[in-house]
Amino acid sequence: MLINAMGLIVADHDQVHLGELTGPRALAAVPFAGRYRIIDFILSNMVNSGIKTVGVLAETKYRSLMDHLGTGASWDLDRMTQRLFILPPFINQSIMRGAQTSDLSGLLNYVENGNQKYVVISDSNVIMNERYEKLFEKHVESGAEITVLYNKDGARFGSPVISLELNKQGRVVDLLLDAPHLANDNNFLGLSIISRDLFITLLEAAIARGFNEFTQLTLLRMFPDLDIRGCEHDGFSLRINSVATYYSASMRLLESKVRNHLFRQERPVFTKVKNEAPAEFVTGCKASNLLSSDGCIIRGEVSNSVFFRGVDMGKHSVVKNSIIFQDVVIQDGVVLEHVIIDKDCVIRSGVELKGQPDYPVLIGKGSLV
Amino acid sequence: MILAGGQGTRLGVLTDHVAKPAVPFGSRYRIIDFPLSNCTNSGIEAVGVLTQYQPLELNKYIGNGHSWDLDRNSGGTYILPPYQSIYGSDWYKGTANAIYQNISFIDRFSPKYVLVLSGDHVYKMDYSAMVRQHVQTEADGTIAVIEVPWEETSRFGIMNTDEDNRITEFEEKPKEAKNNLASMGVYCFSWQALRKYLILDEEKTGSDNDFGKNVIPMMLADQQRMYAYTFNGYWKDVGTVYSLWESNMDLLDKPEEINLNDDSWRIYSRNPIRPSHFVGPNAVMDRVAVTDGAEIYGTVIHSMLSHSVVIEEGATVKDSFLMPGVVVKQGSCLDRCIVGMNTIIGADMQVGPDVTDGTNYYENERVCTEGITVFEQNLIINDGAKINGNSMIYMPTANEGFNKIVVGLNERELAMEV
């Protein structure tokens, strides 16, 4: 079934920050799984669900996100009428005179211009490979005003987590943020569906009241006035709420069952095409439990790690339990353990960096170590 | 104009169902990616691809040319099969006839110069430098040449030139060569000159309508200004099973010769929609090139693995080129193999030149040389089979004795490529 909905991806999250990983880029643009960015999973889920109009709400640091998304062609979202819309902060003349920096009229404009019946809204901190049929069917069947997706594994992933108190009809009756002792453990998965008409009404009201930011939390907080219901997700998902959960989620990619959950031929995950050369494993290298990508040259010893595209790893280097981003150069004789190294870094010969499994060392983009 | 219609019979079963330019190459490419990428990198924006033999896979692969940045407002990629007209219809009889039948296509762009290229060569070449020389020498035709070892001159079309690089004589496969500059099958022509000689050649009865055999000798005989353009770099005609195997091994042994990591001259291709490749806990990787979606749990030595290849634990792959989607099951040992797309190699198989107690497939006409074994695409090969080197394995017809080896067709679909 194709869902008659437009998509909205919230690229930043006002509570989720991944240290230096989200320093230069939006949360949605954080690289994940060797050749993807987090947003690729969300965009692909939408496209695989038949959603062909997708807006990406970008608040700050959106250069890298826009660079990645381009025209949307990689996701087949560069069509005549239905396509990708990037929604940067909207500044109009009346606001120029006032104190505010932007308002929600850019978002309102996007939603008003749609002709679909519903809007599917997604945050950028949960990775899964799903079609949205079940959420959609449940929403239509129950007659709720908003239906939100949740599952019960949030507690293990640390804060921030929004847990939902549901009544017998599945209606949201309370909302707890990072509750220390979870009574119910129904944790929001950052995905909701709402009718476009209602969304327009809510946005208009928000603009009239001077709100300049949209988050799903604001929407959820309207539970006393709106019929918001939960839909339990029983499939696989990975939450990314912190550097530690980013690290552990990445390490779980080394399990074949996790990869089988996330990468299915019938629901492909699309990303920007790079045309790198094939990866090269040269004589004398040792590789085990390695997820690596095109353009890598592996000369040293590497285990339990994720290598993004174009990593150049020198001889006699030892890399364990680490995540190495695109185009990083690891020179000869380097020792890395439990580290995350962002794009374009150079790790000079002889350097040793060691973190801990629950506290990996994170080296920011473009550093020379 | 890229000539991509040839059957490529010397590749045996690898070109039974696909045209040679669409044959996979070098882990993540098809052969035609090289001329297409050379065109886009040389700033050529209108490209005609002449297809004839088994064009479906090639047509699907090229699509609108988007993957090579050849989907342009003016120009772009055009697939040009033979067509019907009020004068009748005809297959492309030879390389020159293929261009002749598309004269009105070329006229539509009113070009001053036309490049005629082969769809089955592996090389990186800046055609714009060749066109520049063509303009500077006021040539009617320029032929790219490459120096070959003197002892191999008898295999090539040799150009004899004067001190200004003007071609004085063309000798096809000479016994006693006077020069070692071999034609690469890459031509630049002034369109009006070529147009005239294509029409003249067509009027000649008994002509093979071939550039090398007919058109170029005729232009030389008529004292047209024909120049050689010397190319320095890696160039290979991957026309035989051995040269296909060897050029894949070249990528592993001499990666600097055709540097695929060169940012200024990328080779573009369709990209499979697959996750990063995975190297398992007990895998051994020694001189291996690999790309998206491959999963390696066994031992791989000196081999080229394409997308979605799976090497199970306990399997060994050596000196081999595996095309997309190939599965090698546990305990199997492949040596000097080329395995076609999507073929499943059963468990505990032994294939290679050192296997002597296996089955020979020399009886039929389709055999390999140099100890190489070739598997056709989409086969399911029986567990425990032993196959000697030089064999060519394909789907058996009723009266052939492969039935114990090939047990079925693999109908699983390969990952989407964009």
d(CA B220, CA B411): 52
Q: List chain A residues with CB under 8 Å of B277.
A: 279, 291-293
Residue A333 has pLDDT above 70, yes or no: yes
pLDDT level of residue B7 (50, 70, 90 thresholds): confident
Contact check, Cβ <8 Å, A73/B291: no
Neighboring chain A residues of B285 at a CB cutoff of 8 Å: 281, 285, 287, 298
Task: Identify the closest residue of chain A to B300 by CA–CA distance.
Answer: A281
CB–CB contact A276 B416 (8 Å): no
pLDDT digit string (tens) for A64-74?
A: 999 999 999 99
Complex ipTM: 0.94
Facing residue for B280 by CB, picked from A268, A274, A288 = A288
Partner-chain contact A279 B285, CB within 8 Å: no
Region of poorest pLDDT, from A179-183, B55-59, B60-64: A179-183
- The mean pLDDT of A5-26, rounded to a whole number, is 94
Q: Does residue B363 surpass a pLDDT of 60?
A: no
Per-residue pLDDT, A192: 98
CA–CA gap between residue A369 and residue B316 (Å, rounded): 39
CB spacing of B275 vs A34 below 8 angstroms: yes
3-class SS at B37? Answer: helix
Per-chain mean pLDDT for chain A: 93
Mean local confidence (pLDDT), B198-217:
95
Kind and range of the H or E element at A259? helix A256-262
Question: In this predicted model, what pLDDT tens digit does every residue of A41-90 receive, in sequence order?
Answer: 999 999 999 999 999 999 889 999 999 999 999 999 999 888 999 998 87
Compute how many other C-beta atoms are within 10 angstroms of the C-beta atom of residue B151: 9
Find the mean pLDDT for residues B262-282: 96
CB pairs under 8 A between A and B: 100
What would the pLDDT profile of B374-384 be if each residue is shown by its tens digit? 999 999 999 99
Of A287, A291, A306, the CB nearest to B283: A287
**C-alpha to C-alpha distance for B23 and B18, rounded to whole angstroms:** 7
φ and ψ at B277, to 5 degrees? -80, 160
Confidence of residue B270 (pLDDT cuts 50, 70, 90): very high
Residue A287 to residue B67, Cβ atoms within 8 A:
no
CA distance B18 to chain A (A): 23
> Does B362 have pLDDT greater than 60?
no
pLDDT band at B137 (very low <50, low <70, confident <90, very high): very high
When pLDDT is cut at 50, 70 and 90, the band that residue A156 belongs to is low
Give the number of other CB atoms < 10 A from CB of residue B249: 18
Cβ–Cβ of A273/B271 closer than 8 Å? yes
pLDDT of residue B399: 55
| Predicted model pTM | 0.95
Q: Which of B164, B141, B123 is nearest to B217 (CA)?
A: B141
Q: Mind giving me the DSSP string for A102-139?
A: -BTHHHHHHHHH---SEEEEE-SSEE----SHHHHHHH
Is the pLDDT at B402 greater than 90, yes or no?
A: no
Residue range B32-47, pLDDT digits in tens: 999 999 999 999 999 9
Residue A259's contacts (CB-CB under 8 Å, 6 or more residues apart) are A253, A291, B275, B278
Hey, are the CB atoms on A259 and B285 less than 8 Å from each other? no
Chain centroid to Cα A104, Å, comes to 22
Residue B159 host element (H or E): strand B157-161
For residue range A243-294, what is the model confidence (pLDDT) as tens digits?
A: 999 999 999 999 999 999 999 989 999 999 999 999 999 999 999 999 999 9
Among A90, A95, A120, smallest CA distance to A108 is for A90
- Output B86 or B323, whichever has higher pLDDT: B323
Cα B291 from Cα A90, distance rounded (Å):
42
Average pLDDT over residues A99-116: 86
CB atoms within 10 A of CB A369: 15
Q: Could you tell me which residue, A18 or A89, shows the higher pLDDT?
A: A18
How confident is the model over B329-343, as pLDDT tens digits? Answer: 999 999 999 999 999
Q: In this complex, is the C-beta atom of A258 within 8 Å of any C-beta atom belonging to chain B? A: no
| Contact residues on chain A for B288, CB-CB shorter than 8 A | 280-281
Please give the share of chain B, as a percent, with pLDDT higher than 70. 97
Mean pLDDT of B312-319: 98
Percentage above 90 pLDDT, chain A? 83
Considering only the beta carbons, identify the residue of A34, A74, A282 that sits closest to B276: A34
Domains by residue range for chain A, with CATH: 5-262 (3.90.550.10), 280-363 (2.160.10.10)
Rounded Cα–Cα distance for residues B174 and A283 (Å): 42
Q: Give the whole-angstrom CA distance, residue B235 versus residue B121.
A: 7
Q: What is the pLDDT of residues B219-268, one digit of tens each?
A: 999 999 999 999 999 999 998 999 999 999 999 999 999 999 999 999 99
Residues B312-320, mean pLDDT to the nearest whole number: 98
d(CA B124, CA B133): 18
CB B46 within 8 A of CB B76: yes
For an interface test with B, the pick among A281, A282, A308 (most B C-beta atoms closer than 10 Å) comes out as A281
Whether the CB of B274 is below 8 Å from some CB of chain A: the reply is yes
How far, in Å, CA of B281 to CA of A60, rounded?
41
pLDDT in tens, B153-190: 998 999 999 999 999 999 988 999 999 999 999 999 99
How many CB atoms lie under 10 A from the CB of residue A225? 8
